[in-house]
């Protein structure tokens, strides 16, 4: 819906991996928030408390590890680029987990920006089964 209101980049694979991760973070968080509503978590305080269980470096790194064998070669390249993003690591995060969570977010962002909706839905359905 939102992507119908704005023009997405023609070649999202050329964007910096950090930019793909920035978008992917939002897309994944929206997926999780909707999933929590589906599970009848409705109070904002409870929604946030539950969401942070899934939207954190360790959880996202673990999800990436579980889906990595299902990724295409193209997706593996995006993940590698996301893992190698340079930058600071939050105090509450393990460096390796943070790198892999950035890789996970870059993958989600790339699929969204590349308008690969079927693939994004496919991965989200796999993730939904894992949660």
Provide the 10 A C-beta neighbour count for residue 94: 14
Active site residue 94: no
Which of these is catalytic: 25, 69, 70, 94? 25
- Rounded Cα gap, residues 31 and 25, in angstroms: 10
Q: From start to end of the chain, where are the E strands? A: none
Separation between Cα atoms, residue 7 and residue 10, nearest integer Å: 9
Matching residue, tokens 């930019």: 19
8 Å CB contact between 131 and 38: no
| Residues carrying an active site annotation | 25
């Amino acid at each position: 819906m939102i992507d119908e209101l704005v023009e997405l980049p023609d070649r999202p694979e050329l964007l910096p991996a950090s930019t793909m991760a920035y978008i992917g973070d939002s897309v994944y968080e929206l997926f999780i928030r909707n999933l929590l509503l589906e599970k009848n978590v409705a109070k904002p305080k409870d929604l946030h408390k539950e969401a942070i269980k899934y939207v954190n470096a360790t959880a996202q790194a673990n999800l990436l590890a579980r889906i990595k064998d299902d990724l295409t070669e193209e997706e593996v390249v995006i993940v590698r680029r996301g893992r190698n993003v340079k930058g600071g690591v939050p105090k509450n995060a393990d460096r390796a987990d943070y790198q892999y969570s950035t890789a996970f977010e870059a993958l989600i962002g790339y699929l969204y920006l590349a308008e690969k909706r079927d693939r994004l839905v496919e991965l989200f359905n796999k993730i939904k089964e894992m949660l």
